[in-house]
Amino acid sequence: MANNPTFQRTIALKLKDYFVHLAKTKLPIAMGDKYSSVVVTCLTCLDKDNEDFGDEDEMLDERGILVAVRFMETILQKLNEISV
Protein backbone atom coordinates (compact mmCIF):
# COMPACT_ATOMS: atom_id res chain seq x y z
CA MET A 1 0.00 0.00 0.00
CA ALA A 2 2.85 2.42 0.79
CA ASN A 3 4.20 1.99 -2.76
CA ASN A 4 0.83 2.89 -4.28
CA PRO A 5 1.18 6.31 -6.01
CA THR A 6 -2.43 7.24 -5.23
CA PHE A 7 -1.90 6.48 -1.56
CA GLN A 8 1.36 8.45 -1.51
CA ARG A 9 -0.30 11.46 -3.16
CA THR A 10 -3.18 11.34 -0.68
CA ILE A 11 -0.77 11.28 2.27
CA ALA A 12 1.32 14.09 0.77
CA LEU A 13 -1.76 16.29 0.28
CA LYS A 14 -2.96 15.61 3.82
CA LEU A 15 0.47 16.51 5.20
CA LYS A 16 0.56 19.71 3.16
CA ASP A 17 -2.92 20.65 4.41
CA TYR A 18 -1.79 20.03 7.98
CA PHE A 19 1.33 22.19 7.54
CA VAL A 20 -0.76 24.97 5.96
CA HIS A 21 -3.14 24.75 8.91
CA LEU A 22 -0.23 25.06 11.36
CA ALA A 23 1.24 27.97 9.39
CA LYS A 24 -2.09 29.80 9.57
CA THR A 25 -2.95 29.06 13.19
CA LYS A 26 0.20 28.46 15.25
CA LEU A 27 3.03 30.18 13.38
CA PRO A 28 1.63 33.74 13.54
CA ILE A 29 1.81 33.63 17.33
CA ALA A 30 5.53 32.92 17.29
CA MET A 31 6.71 34.58 14.06
CA GLY A 32 4.07 37.12 13.04
CA ASP A 33 1.53 37.37 10.25
CA LYS A 34 3.91 38.39 7.45
CA TYR A 35 6.29 35.48 7.99
CA SER A 36 3.35 33.09 8.30
CA SER A 37 2.03 34.41 4.99
CA VAL A 38 5.40 33.65 3.36
CA VAL A 39 5.32 30.09 4.69
CA VAL A 40 1.76 29.56 3.43
CA THR A 41 2.79 30.93 0.03
CA CYS A 42 5.72 28.49 -0.08
CA LEU A 43 3.50 25.57 0.84
CA THR A 44 0.81 26.47 -1.68
CA CYS A 45 2.90 27.86 -4.54
CA LEU A 46 1.68 25.25 -7.03
CA ASP A 47 -1.97 25.41 -5.99
CA LYS A 48 -4.29 26.77 -8.68
CA ASP A 49 -5.94 29.20 -6.25
CA ASN A 50 -2.63 30.75 -5.12
CA GLU A 51 -2.77 34.35 -6.37
CA ASP A 52 0.82 35.21 -5.40
CA PHE A 53 2.31 33.52 -8.45
CA GLY A 54 0.17 34.95 -11.22
CA ASP A 55 -0.91 33.20 -14.39
CA GLU A 56 -0.16 29.48 -14.52
CA ASP A 57 1.04 29.79 -18.14
CA GLU A 58 3.82 32.14 -16.98
CA MET A 59 5.07 29.44 -14.63
CA LEU A 60 5.47 26.74 -17.27
CA ASP A 61 8.99 25.81 -18.28
CA GLU A 62 10.14 22.33 -19.24
CA ARG A 63 13.36 22.78 -17.27
CA GLY A 64 11.71 24.43 -14.27
CA ILE A 65 13.86 27.55 -14.56
CA LEU A 66 11.04 30.06 -14.93
CA VAL A 67 9.16 28.39 -12.10
CA ALA A 68 12.19 28.63 -9.81
CA VAL A 69 12.86 32.27 -10.71
CA ARG A 70 9.22 33.27 -10.13
CA PHE A 71 9.23 31.38 -6.83
CA MET A 72 12.40 33.11 -5.61
CA GLU A 73 11.23 36.57 -6.70
CA THR A 74 7.88 36.19 -4.99
CA ILE A 75 9.24 34.74 -1.76
CA LEU A 76 12.21 37.11 -1.50
CA GLN A 77 9.95 40.11 -2.10
CA LYS A 78 7.67 38.99 0.72
CA LEU A 79 10.62 38.33 3.03
CA ASN A 80 12.08 41.77 2.29
CA GLU A 81 8.81 43.36 3.43
CA ILE A 82 9.32 41.97 6.93
CA SER A 83 10.87 44.34 9.42
CA VAL A 84 12.04 43.33 12.86
pLDDT digits (tens, 9 = 90+) for 50-75: 887 766 666 666 776 777 888 888 89
Instruction: Give pLDDT, residue 67.
Output: 77
Contact between 35 and 82 under an 8 Å Cβ cutoff? The reply is yes
Contact between 11 and 52 under an 8 Å Cβ cutoff? The reply is no
Q: Tell which residue, 49, 34, 21, has the closest CA to residue 80.
A: 34
Contact between 73 and 39 under an 8 Å Cβ cutoff? The reply is no
Instruction: Give pLDDT, residue 42.
Output: 92
Q: How many CA atoms lie within 13 A of 9 on its CB side?
A: 3
State the CB neighbour count (10 A cutoff) for residue 40.
19
Instruction: Give pLDDT, residue 59.
Output: 65
Tell if the pTM clears 0.85, that is, is over it. no
